[in-house]
Structure formats: structure tokens, C-alpha cells
Amino acid sequence: LDGATQVDFLSCMSHVCVELSKSEIRSFRYAACLCGYALLGSLVRVHQSLDETNAVLTKQLRAVGHSAAKKNQRRDLNKRLQECHERSNTIDTHMKNLFQELVIVRFRDVAPQIRALTIRWVGIWVVQHPKKFLSDGYLKYVAWSLNDKDAQVRLAAVQALKQVYQRHAAAARGGDADADEDDTGPNNNSSFSNLSALDLLTQRFSGRFVELVKDVNEQVCVNALDLVLSLAEAQLIDVS
């Protein structure tokens, strides 16, 4: 497939998922979200790969320098770097559109199963591609769901945040002993060592994290306790 065909396919699939997610039939909305989030997850993996390629090409370009003898090599690297930027920008546009039209809307769906599904996927993307998603602009949707009236949504939010903070703790240790390599893809701790990325979230919601240890739902309590311990391990809160 050429580039135009790929873009048309992505646009078509995104449109189908978004439109089906507006159905009054809950099972249709759930299926649409499942497909849409899987599609967005694929885009996230591609975007992360392009970021890594961009970093490698930039490093190679710097190594080449401005030597006249390496003019052709420098031109080739610049061309590949430009192509990488263009592809990354295209993928980024599709990611933003899907997030705005699907995630932000279904995050408030009347069905708790759909709300929980949405929050689980946001957590996956944050862990999978922290350079893009580890920010208040995305984490706030997970944090807001800590106050959801349905226990399965609160549980999804706590579990998502637990993974994020455990990755942060692992990065601070320089290892990854506590982070599982499941459906979130390969471990990527490089962007989790930056304390400021989680500082605002911790300041605003650490009190709620502690409150959830006494939640009426047992699973929420257990996972909230793990979350608080992860916070303490990363030295983000004082539990003494």
C-alpha cells in the first residue's frame, strides 16, 4: 500500500469506530471502543518506533558532521529524517483525532464496562509510550476515574496508575523488577525517571490514593494499597 492508501484506510477505520461508538446499543459501543482502542494502540507502537528511529538518525547525522567527503551520506540521512518526521506527524494526527473523538467521549459513557475499558487502555498507552502520554493531559482522565461510582471503573483507574508508578519506581532503581511485560509491549523506562512528569498528578490525587485503601470494594482496596506502596517506594509520598 502507498502512503495515501494507508492514510485513507486509517481514516476509514477511525470513522467507523467513532460512528459505531455513538450507537444506543451498548454492545455496539463496546465493540467499537475495543476496535478503536486497538487501532490507537497500534498507532502508538508505530509512533514510538518512529521516535526511536528519529533519535538514531539524528545521532548518526551528528556523527557525520559537516565533512565534504560525507556529503552524500549526510544528504541521505537528512532525507530519511524528513520522511520519518512526516510519517510521525501523520500518525500523531490520527492518534489525537481518535483520542478526542473516542476516548474523551467514551470516558463518560453511561456503561461502566466501557468507562473501565477506556481507562485501562489509557493506562496501557502511558506505560507503552511515556514520551507521548506521560503527562497531565492524559493521566487526568485516569485520575478522575478514581471517583467513579462504579467499582470496576475505580479498579481500572487504580491498576492503571499502579503500573505507571511501578515503572517510575523501577526507573528510579535503574531496573524493572516490578513491571510486567504484558500487553503494554516492551519495557520503556527511559521516560519514567523524570519526577516532574508525575509530580502534579501526585500532588493533586495522593490523598485520594490513600482514601481508596478503605474503599468498599475489596479489589480496589488491595490495588490501592499496592499503589500507595509504589508511591512510597518512588519517594513521592511519606507514609511514615
Contacts by residues 140-145 (CB-CB < 8 Å, ≥ 24 positions apart): 140/201, 141/103, 141/104, 141/107, 143/201, 143/204, 143/205, 143/208, 145/107, 145/115, 145/119
Instruction: Let me know: does 134 contact 197? Beta carbons within 8 Å.
Output: yes
For residues 171-192, average pLDDT: 53
For residues 147-166, average pLDDT: 95
- What are the backbone dihedrals phi and psi of residue 109, each rounded to the nearest 5 degrees, phi first? -60, 150
Q: Report the pLDDT value the prediction gives residue 194, as an integer from 0 to 100.
A: 53
Model pTM above 0.75? yes
Instruction: Give dist(CA 36, CA 53) in Å, integer.
Output: 26
Q: What is the mean pLDDT of the chain?
A: 86
pLDDT in tens, 107-153: 999 999 999 999 999 999 999 999 899 988 899 999 999 999 999 99
